[in-house]
Amino acid sequence: AASVAPLKQIPPASWTDGRAVALIANALGLRAHVLGRLGRDDEAAGVDADRQKLLESAAANLEPGIRLLRARAALEGALAERALASGDPKSLSMRLDRLAEIGGRMKEIDAQNSQSFYVAYRSAELAARGAARRDDPDAEKRHLDVAEKALSELHARDPADADSALGLVLLWNKRAAHLRKQGDLTRARDLLLQARNLAERVVSGGLGGAPAQLRLALTYMELGSVARERKSFGEARGAYEKAMEIFAAAGGKAADREAQLKIANAHDHQALVALESGDLDTALEHARRCLAVLSSAQLSSSQAADVDLQRTLALSRLAKIRSMRGEAQEAVEAARRSTRLARAAYG
């Protein structure tokens, strides 16, 4: 992002439709995103402030074409994400209003442009998460309805577009989680099967790359959890196994160190299924494999705290399994290790 040429080096003719401004704004957005992933939130906020000044200046001097409006929508979406993370409902509401305004301008310029549907989806999806934060399930469902309608329209325009397909997969996962919280496990399962089928079509078509495989694996994880709650233990085991196969395929790639942690999480879920179904031998095997993966995982500093928590919970589950197997000494040792780790990590 830092290598993008300064505006003064771009031919003035290219300013007429905002292409140069959009290029710089998108580069700054990428830089802010990377800084955020690195945990450097203050620097990310500073970059977004620069991006906002650039776009405000452009809005005052240039005719707002689709490219420029798309850059503004990306900024407002990022600022809305920040408002959500910080628990600032007033700022979130303001950003959502601006997204709605941008979407409306896009439709005025070109009613058939796909970007207006994406902005409508993005705004509704953010609003749904805000409603979930407020514990307002009715509002959450209304916003999810709007998001699904916009994204379905976008996908119908281009069924080969992996981004809109994976957006639907993610959205159906969220709707399933909403149904699961309400205790409607049958409908949650049906929606997750729909999401799985679409994700499999994307992956089998060679589209979407690693993100598509990850979304498919996470959908299998959700299917496993719903099956476990329905006491369909065989179905749960099969879903978790499929998820682990997909995670393992990415586990050797340096670009996805999180794959190992996801495999560990799948083993932990398998241990829970075995424990609930009374298969203590299998429960012990998966609990030990979960801890082995966590111990061998090469982590970034930002992952360390999450892994400490995951290891603490895994050791607690191991202690329970050992106790149920009548292995008192081993159970006490696992419990002690869990307590020591928790104290070291959290005081």
Helices (H) and strands (E) in the chain, counts: 14, 0
Per-residue pLDDT, 178: 86
The pTM score is 0.78
Rounded to the nearest integer, the mean pLDDT of the chain is 85
Q: For 240-274, how does the pLDDT look when each residue is reduced to its tens digit (9 = 90+)?
A: 999 999 988 865 444 456 778 888 999 999 999 99
Question: Which string of DSSP letters, residue by residue, matches 197-240?
Answer: HHHHHHHHTT-SHHHHHHHHHHHHHHHHHHHHHTT-HHHHHHHH
Which SS3 state, helix, strand or coil, does residue 41 take? Answer: helix
Which SS3 state, helix, strand or coil, does residue 155 take? Answer: helix
pLDDT band at residue 327 under the 50/70/90 scheme = very high
Question: Which string of DSSP letters, residue by residue, matches 79-96?
Answer: HHHHHHHHT-HHHHHHHH
Per-residue pLDDT, 173: 94
Please determine, for residue 232, whether its predicted confidence score (pLDDT) is greater than 90: yes
Q: For 291-309, how does the pLDDT look when each residue is reduced to its tens digit (9 = 90+)?
A: 998 887 665 555 666 778 8
Which pairs with CB-CB distance under 8 Å and at least 24 residues apart come from 94-98? Answer: 95/126, 96/123, 96/126, 96/127, 96/130, 98/72
Of 63-72, 202-211, 286-295, which gets the smallest average pLDDT?
A: 63-72
